Structure 1
Amino acid sequence: MNRSLRTLLGASGALAIAISTVLLTATNSAAEPVDYGKGDGAEETGGSDKNGIYAAARITYSGSVAKGGGTGNVTPADVNWTPPPCWYAPYLGAKDFKEKMSKDIEGQLNAPGMGGHAGAALSELQRHYEDEYGWTDTPGYKDYNVENDGKGMFWAAVENPDEPDLLKRSSCNDLPFWVENGEAPPPQYEQAITPQILAALAYQHMELPDTEVTLAPEAVTKVNLPTWAWLDKAVFDEVQATAAINAPGFNLQATTTAKPVALKLQPGTEDAETYPASGECVINADGSIGEPYAKGKADKTPPCGLKYLRSSGNGTFNLQATITWEITWTGTGGAGGAGGDLPNGTFGNDQAITVQEIQAVNR
C-alpha cells in the first residue's frame, strides 16, 4: 500500500473500526468446515455472517490435534520460535466484497459526527475500491473489481486467536487486495498464507499422546534400589497433524510429523541418580526407549532409569518424564511447500513415586 494512503487511513480510531469490519478474525472458527466467498449459483456450505455474506476460507485441522480448535500440548524446545501471529488469506469474491465493504463504508460515513479527517479518510478508502486510479500512485479497483468476479478473490488479514500479544496479532494491517485464481499473492505481502505457515499452525494445534513411562518397581520403590524405565514402540510412535485451507482456485495443505527421539527423567528430588547420568534416554533401533525389567536383573544397572537415595516419607516424589519429539513438515499447493524441519517439541507427564526405606531385622 502507498505510504500516504496507509498514513491517512490509519489516522483515526473510527476508521480503524471501519477497516476492521472487513478483516478476518479466526475466533471460534479455527476447526470449522472450509467456507469461501460464494459466486452466483454456488452451493452454500455454511459459515455466513449475520448479513448472509460468506466469509473467508477457514483453516481446518485434522489428525492428532486438540479438540475444538484449541492449542495443543507441544512445548517448542526453541524458546524463540513462535507460530505466526497473523496472515493474509482468501476472503471474498468481488461481488460479495463490494456488498459488504460498501455497506460498511456507507454506514461509517453516515454515522453522527463522522467528519473532518476521519470522513476524508473513509472517502479515500471508498475511492480506493471504486476508482481504478485509486489514491495517488496506489492502483485501485474499478467498481470493486466486479467485472472479474469468479476469476479471483480479495484477500484480507487473519488474526491468530491464540497469539496473546495484541500488537503482533494485528500487525497484518494492509487493506484487502485482489489475487487471481491460481496466482500467488504479490511479493510485498510476505505474510500471505503458505504451506510453511500452515505447518506452523498445525504444530501449534498438535496434540501429543499422554503416555506414561512403564516403571519397575511400579509407583512404590525402595531407597537405593534401581528403578527401570521404558516405553514400548507399540505405545510410542510418531503422530501427524494437518492444516488445510481451500477456496476457489486456491488449495494449500501442510502436515507436521512428530517422531519421538528421547526421554528425559527428572526424579523430583536432588537426592536421586539417573541412568544415564544426564537423565536422557535415547531411542533404540527398534523405536522403543529403555529396556523392560525382567527377573534376574535386580542387581544390574538399567540403561534407562533412576535410583532414589532417600525416602519420600509420608508423601511422594514427583517423577517427570518428558519426551522429546523431532518435528518435520511437508506441504502441497504452493511455493515453499517442499517441507523442512520445525523446532523439536517436548511434552511431559508427572508420576507420583513413593520411596520407602528398606527395613532391616536384627536378631
Structure 2
Amino acid sequence: MAVAVGAILALQASPAQAKVGPKGAAQGSASAATDGKQVTVGVSKVQYSGDTKRKGTQATGDLKSVDGTWTPPACWYEPTYSPKEMEAMVKGWRDIKIFGIGDLIGNLYDSKYKSGDPKDGGYKDYNLDKEGKGMFWAAVKNPDRENDPEANLCDKPPFWVDNGQTPQEPLAVSPRVLGEAAAGTVELTPTEITMAPSATSTVNLPTWVWTPGNGFKEKHASASVAGITATATAKPVALHLDPGSPDATMFPGSGTCPINADGSIGTPFAAGMAGQTPSCGVTYQRAGTYRLMASVTWKISWSASTGDGSALPDSVYTAPPQPVTVQEIQSINR
C-alpha cells in the first residue's frame, strides 16, 4: 500500500508541478511519499549577491574543477518553514480535491507533525507552541543540479531545529555548504581571444593571441541564510593555449599566458610588430587546419562570516575551439 501511495503522490505532487501548489504553501514547495517515506522539497531561502548568476544575468560559464574532484552541492537542508507555515501548507494541500490527493497528503503530514508518534519525532500541533523558537528544516535542491541524481540524496522529511542549534545532519546548510553553493554561482568572464592573423596563418610565423583589457578580474559571489554569509572568490590565474598540434612553438614556451595588471592577457598586435615575438601566441610549423583551445584557470576559495573558510580545487573555463588555418606561403604580418 505504501508503494502505491508513493507512486500516486510522486505523480500528483512532483517538484515539476510545484508552482500550482496549495494556498499557504511556500511557492515552489512540493511533497511526495515514496516507499512509505514522506519527503518535502522546499524553496531555498538563500540570498545571493555579488558577481553571481542568481541575479538574473545571463550565465557566461560554469566552474569546473580541473581534477574533477569538486562540484557545487546538489542539495542541502535549510530552515524553511515556521510552525505556522507548516500548518498553513497542510491546510493548502487539503484544498486540493483531485482524487482525494490533498487529504491524503494532509493526513500524512498530520500523522507526523500534528499527532506524531514519539518514536517519529513526537511532534504535536506542528510545534505551534514553539513559534519563533525554531524552524522546520527541509530539503532544497540546487537549481543548477536539480536533475542530478545526487539532488535526491536529501530525502529526509522536514525536521525541527531550535534557534541557535546545529542539526546533526551532514547535508544541513553550513558555512561550507553556503561557500560551495556561492562558488557554483560565480559569473565568470567569458574566455574569448583575438588572434592576428585572424583568418589564415603562415608556417613558421607567429600568430598573436590576446584578450581585451580589464576583462579578467577577481569575482566575488555571496550566499546568505540562517544568519550565515559565505563569500566565494574566483581569481583568474592564467590563460593556457593548446595549439591542437605537436608541431607548434608556444609563446611563452609553457603555453600559459599570465594575466596582465589591467586584467588583459597577451599583447594586441599592431602595425610594425611583425618582427617581434608575441607575449602570448603560437607558431605552427606545418600547414593544415588546427583547433586552438584557450582556457582560463581560476583559483577558488570561500570564507564565511563565522570565520570558516578554505580553498577549493582550481577550476577552468574553456572557450569553444578556434579553427586556425595555416598555409605554406611565406608572408609578413603588417
TM-score, structure 1 as length reference: 0.70
Q: Distance in 2 between matches of 1:331 and 1:152?
A: 22
Inter-CA distance 178–49: structure 2 relative to 1 (3 Å threshold): same
- State the distance in 1 between where 2:47 and 2:121 align: 33
The answer to whether structure 1 residue 323 and structure 2 residue 305 are counterparts is no
Q: Which amino acid aligns with 1:144?
A: Y
**Mapping of residues 57-72 of structure 1, within 5 Å:** 57-66=44-53, 68=56, 72=61
Residue aligning to 2:237: 261
> Does 1:91 find its partner at 2:55?
no
Q: Does the alignment pair 1:356 with 2:332?
A: no
- Distance of 1:13 and 1:342 partners within structure 2: 44
> What is the CA–CA distance in structure 2 between the aligned matches of 1:140 and 1:16, rounded to whole Å?
27
Residues in 2 aligned to 1:322 and 1:52: alpha-carbon distance in whole angstroms: 48
Structure 1 distance, partners of 2:141, 2:270, is 54
Q: Aligned with 1:101: secondary structure?
A: helix
Q: Which amino acid aligns with 1:51?
A: K
Paired amino acid for 1:184:
Q
Distance change (3 Å), C-alpha of 1:255 and 1:214: same
Q: Following TM superposition, by how much is the alpha carbon of 1:218 offset from its aligned partner in structure 2, in angstroms?
A: 4.1
1:12 partner amino acid: V
SS of residue in 2 equivalent to 1:12: helix
Q: Which residue of 1 aligns with 2:308?
A: 338
In 2, the alpha carbon distance for the partners of 1:215 and 1:126 equals: 66
- Structure 2: which amino acid aligns with 1:356? Q
What per-residue deviation string (whole Å, max 9, x for no partner) do you get for residues 275-322 of structure 1?
Answer: 33432234467765445557776455444321012234xxx5332211
**Over residues 167-208 of structure 1, what are the superposed CA-to-partner deviations in whole Å (9 max), with x where a residue is unaligned?**
421111222112233x13322x12111232122222222221
* Distance in 1 between residues matched to 2:84 and 2:11, nearest whole Å: 19
- The structural deviation recorded for 1:266 is 1.4
The residue aligned with 1:35 is none
Q: Which residue of 1 aligns with 2:282?
A: 306
| Contact persistence 2:138–2:157 (CA under 8 A) | yes
Which of the residues 48, 71, 79 maps onto 2:68? 79
- The residue correspondences of 1:138-149 to structure 2 (distance < 5 A) are 138-149=120-131
1:167-178 to 2 correspondence within 5 Å? 167-178=149-160
Task: Render the CA deviation track for 1:9-46: whole Å, top value 9, x for unaligned.
Answer: x95352476699999x6x799xxxxxxxxxxxxxxxxx
**What are the Cα deviations for residues 304-348 of structure 1, in whole angstroms up to 9, with x where unaligned?**
321012234xxx53322111111111222xx5x522212211112
Change (3 A) 1:104 1:295: closer
Gaps of 5+ in 1: 1-9, 30-46
Give the share of equivalent positions with the same residue, in percent: 39
Following the alignment from structure 2 to structure 1, what is the Cα–Cα distance between the partners of residues 235 and 153? 33
- Matched to 2:313, the amino acid is P
Q: Is the 8 A contact 1:317 1:354 kept in 2?
A: yes
For 2:50 and 2:20, the matched residues in 1 are separated by: 26
Q: Give the direction of change, closer, same or farther, for the CA distance of 1:82–1:70 in structure 2 (3 Å limit).
A: farther
For residue 354 of structure 1, report the CA deviation from its aligned partner.
3.6
How many positions carry a matched residue from both structures?
A: 311
RMSD: 4.0
Kept after mapping to 1: 8 A contact 2:24/2:89: no
Q: 1:277 to 1:238 in 2, by over 3 A?
A: same
2:52 corresponds to which letter in structure 1?
Answer: V
Alignment of 1:54-203 (within 5 A): 54-55=26-27, 56-66=43-53, 68=56, 72-101=61-90, 104=93, 111=100, 126-131=110-115, 134-136=117-119, 138-163=120-145, 167-181=149-163, 183-187=164-168, 189-203=169-183
- The answer for the alignment partner of 1:272 in structure 2 is 248
Amino acid at match of 1:273: T
How far does residue 75 in structure 1 lie from its aligned partner after superposition? 2.1
User: Do the aligned partners of residues 286 and 104 (structure 1) sit closer, same or farther apart at CA in structure 2, a change above 3 Å counting?
Assistant: closer
User: After alignment, is 299-308 or 80-89 more displaced?
Assistant: 299-308
- Measure the CA separation in 2 of the matches of 1:21 and 1:199: 35
Is contact 1:230–1:292 with CA below 8 Å preserved after alignment? yes
Secondary structure at the counterpart of residue 146 of structure 1? helix
Change (3 A) 1:66 1:125: closer
Is there any run of 5+ residues in structure 2 with no aligned partner, and where? 28-42
Contact 1:195 1:331 survives alignment (8 Å): yes
Rounded Cα–Cα distance in structure 2 between residues aligned with 1:166 and 1:309: 45
Q: Is the 8 A contact 1:61 1:241 kept in 2?
A: yes
CA contact (8 A) 1:22 1:101 kept: no
Q: How does 1:188-267 map to 2 (within 5 A)?
A: 189-231=169-211, 234-245=214-225, 250-267=226-243
Structure-2 separation of matches of 1:155 and 1:131: 19
Secondary structure at the aligned position of 2:308 is classed as coil
